[in-house]
Amino acid sequence: MEILKVTPRGYCYGVVDAITLAKRVASDPNVPRPIYVLGQIVHNRHVVNQLEALGIITLDGTVRIQLLDQVPSGATVIFTAHGVSPAVKEAALRRGLHVYDATCPDVTRTHDLIQEKIAQGRFVLYIGTPGHPEPEGAMGEAPTDRIALVASRAEAAEIAVPDGMPIAVMTQTTLSQWDTRAIIDVIRERFPAAEIYNEICMATQSRQEAAVKAAAEVDLVIVVGDRRSNNSNRLVEVVQVVGEKRAIRVESAEDLNPEWFHQVSKVAVTSGSSTPTEITRAVIKQIGEWATVTNHTKSMPPL
Ligand code: SF4
């Protein structure tokens, strides 16, 4: 069995910067303790555990304004790569918390764009995943009666917008470009004059395109990523829907099942942009050991 290591895969610059910032804050003795992160710094439990070992407390949950209530006065709080709403920033400053902001510049760009379009008098349709922190933060940039979340083609077909108001459409950074295109098509049909802004980031796009390309060459694609990682789940989806190949997500080498590789002559391995390199490396190593065994014995290893 041959293994194809998909490139690019794994950490993007936004994730690297966020983790670096958190580690720098943890190592600075002048930063007031305790130190909290508002939500998972990136959606990967291995990373969260690493930060916990450095004394950083992760407050888990998606409604960040509520999480902020758990941070005691005088403490330090880190905002995650997903970005937070202006209301959360204001509340943190009002309470005198020490704030470090790890928001990815690509997310900040979408926040700025929402503000700009609202100032121009437009209604914003934001295509995103319900319950994910990124839409929560981005949508907080607009008054609630000027923005709506759209998660599917069905919602796009039905969503109500104020009569006569011009529309701007934008997207979460970590969506599947193919899904998003289908939703945008529905919106375009209903509102031909809508301004469309594809905000899927380059890191997400390049990983998806590489995964689809790899799918054409292999029998199976293994995606390494946390179950809560939006971009990892989208990688599985694009391989299945666009690449028309089998794709399985694992969080670590322990999740692998040798039976998956029966009659597989070539397997591709990729990982989401929040997956640590060493976790992906361990997955490749484990599959590699089975590949060698398979080549020599023509049988799968025991479970
Ligand atoms: S996936 Fe894109 S938006 Fe998210 S942190 Fe990485 S570069 Fe930034």
pLDDT of 296? 32
Single pTM value for the model: 0.92
Contacts of residue 142, Cβ cutoff 8 Å, sequence gap at least 6: 114, 115, 118, 124
Q: Say which CATH class 106-197 falls into.
A: alpha beta
Ligand 1 pocket member 12 (CB < 6 A)? yes
CB-neighbour burial class of residue 124 (10 A; exposed 0-12, middle 13-18, buried 19+): buried
Ordered per-residue pLDDT tens for the chain, 303 residues: 999 999 999 999 999 999 999 999 999 999 999 999 999 998 899 999 999 999 999 998 879 999 999 999 999 999 999 999 999 999 999 999 999 999 999 999 999 999 999 999 999 999 999 999 999 999 999 999 999 999 999 999 999 999 999 999 999 999 998 989 999 999 999 999 999 999 999 999 999 999 999 999 999 999 999 999 999 999 999 999 999 999 999 999 999 999 999 899 999 999 999 999 999 999 999 999 988 643 333 333 333
The DSSP bridge pattern shows strands 56-59 and 98-101 to be: unpaired
42 CA to centre of ligand 1 in angstroms: 10
Q: How far is the CA of 281 from the centre of ligand 1 (A)?
A: 21
Alpha helices, DSSP H, located in the chain: 13-27, 45-53, 64-68, 86-94, 105-119, 133-139, 153-158, 177-190, 202-215, 230-241, 277-297
81 C-beta closer than 6 A to ligand 1: yes
CB 147 within 8 A of CB 139: yes
Domain ranges of the chain: 2-10+202-297, 13-103, 106-197
CA pair distance 109, 55, nearest whole angstrom: 31
Q: How confident is the model at residue 61, as a pLDDT?
A: 82
Task: Give 72's contacts (C-beta < 8 A, 6+ positions apart).
Answer: 34
How confident is the model at residue 179, as a pLDDT?
87
What crossing angle do the helices spanning 230-241 and 202-215 adopt, rounded to 10°?
40
User: Active site residue: 2, 90, 116, 134, which one?
Assistant: 134
Best substitution site from 111, 234, 273 to test ligand 1's pocket, by max atoms within 8 Å of Cβ? 273
C-beta of residue 5 within 8 angstroms of C-beta of residue 271: no
Alpha carbons 19 and 102: distance in angstroms, whole number: 8
Into which CATH architecture does domain 2-10+202-297 fall? 3-Layer(aba) Sandwich (3.40)
Residue 84 confidence (pLDDT)? 97
Using the mean position of ligand 1's atoms as its centre, give its distance from the Cα of residue 296 in Å. Answer: 42
CATH topology classification for 13-103: Rossmann fold (3.40.50)
Q: Is 134 a known active-site residue?
A: yes
For the stretch 31-78, pLDDT in tens is: 999 999 999 998 899 999 999 999 999 998 879 999 999 999 999 999
Given a contact cutoff of 8 angstroms between Cβ atoms, the answer to whether 85 and 64 are in contact is: yes
For the chain, the residue count is 303
Closest CA to 91 of 59, 60, 65: 65
- Fold match between 2-10+202-297 and 13-103? no
Q: Are strands 167-171 and 195-197 parallel, antiparallel or unpaired?
A: parallel
